[in-house]
Amino acid sequence: MAFYHGILLYIVHIIIAVKASVQAWLSSFKTPLQFRRKRTRTRLKTDAKSLKKLPLHVGLVMLEDELSYQDVANIIVWCMAMGISYISLYDTEGIFKRNYVALNEEISKQQEEILGEEATKYSYQIYKSGKVLGNKALSSRVHVNLVSPQDGRHDIVTAAKQFCLDIASKRRNVKDIEISTLAHQLQGSHFPDPDVVFKFGQVESVLGFLPFQIRLSEILSIASHRNIDYNTFLAKMIAYAGTQQRYGK
């Protein structure tokens, strides 16, 4: 009898242990998600405040054959949460411009995943070549511009043609052609020049990314955007914050 009593007691202990383990495992799917989101949001804000300077406009240059919408969306959401107002996303084939709907869906998804209930505080507007897609949201705090090689070259050619027409019609004089005038004409989309450009991939070039607008931009390389983690992104933000831009001096 004692033998069977011992076995029964052993079984009861196993059942209790399994139940406790299952409850602990299930509880990890309840509050920790909100906790992780809150911790992530807090860290993003804290890290942004700790930087010596924060870029107003970040360029993301994707020079890899395979593009990950999820990873790109993560980077964009990190930028949003840090307080960056302008983001230009570039790839050499114009893939993001053609598939902006899929990108928009992924950004919204990652906003919810990373920011939780605060996602709506970071409203954004997507542009294609500087033109608003859909109705412009008056309250947008973040502006995401999708660009391709045609944008930089085409803008310069268009500006040059306009100068020629203005001079021919005597609306301008040849002496009026200055860098500041050209810069103003190239900023028709009201996007400021990028402060920093993050180049993703092994190619040592930005391959046509807004050639005029990045004449003063800091360019930093990252091996790949695929599976990029936040610490890698933060390290580059810290590197940018520590740079001294002498503007040719």
Instruction: Provide, rounded to the nearest whole percent, the portion of the chain with pLDDT above 90.
Output: 47
Q: Which residue has the higher pLDDT, 188 or 76?
A: 76
CA distance 233 to 238: 9
Distances (CA, A) of 194 to 57, 84, 85, 241: 5, 11, 11, 14
Do 233 and 75 meet the contact criterion of CB atoms below 8 Å apart? yes
For the entire predicted model, the pTM comes to 0.74
Q: Residue 30 has what pLDDT? A: 46
Tokens of 239: 């590197």
Q: Which residues contact 238 (CB under 8 A, 6 or more apart)?
A: 51
With b for 16 or more beta-carbon neighbours within 10 A and e for fewer, the 117-135 pattern comes to eebeebebbbbbebeeeee
136's torsion region: left (phi>0), alpha (psi -120 to 50) or beta? beta
> What is the pLDDT at residue 168?
66
| Tens-place pLDDT, residues 127-157 | 998 888 876 655 668 999 999 998 855 555 5
pLDDT tens for 78-134 read 999 999 999 999 999 999 999 999 999 999 999 999 988 888 888 899 999 888 887
Domain 51-241, CATH: 3.40.1180.10
* pLDDT tens, residue by residue, 11-50: 655 775 565 555 555 555 444 556 566 668 889 989 999 9
The residue among 50, 112, 78, 43 whose CA lies nearest residue 222 is 78
Average pLDDT over residues 171-183: 61
Q: What is the pLDDT of residues 210-222, one digit of tens each?
A: 877 888 899 999 9
Residue 66 corresponds to which amino acid?
E
What was the pLDDT predicted at 100?
A: 95
Position 188 scores a pLDDT of 47
Per-residue pLDDT at 180 exceeds 70: no
- Asked if 88 and 60 count as a contact pair (C-beta separation under 8 A), the reply is yes
DSSP string, 173-196: -GGG--HHHHHHHHTTT-PPPPSE
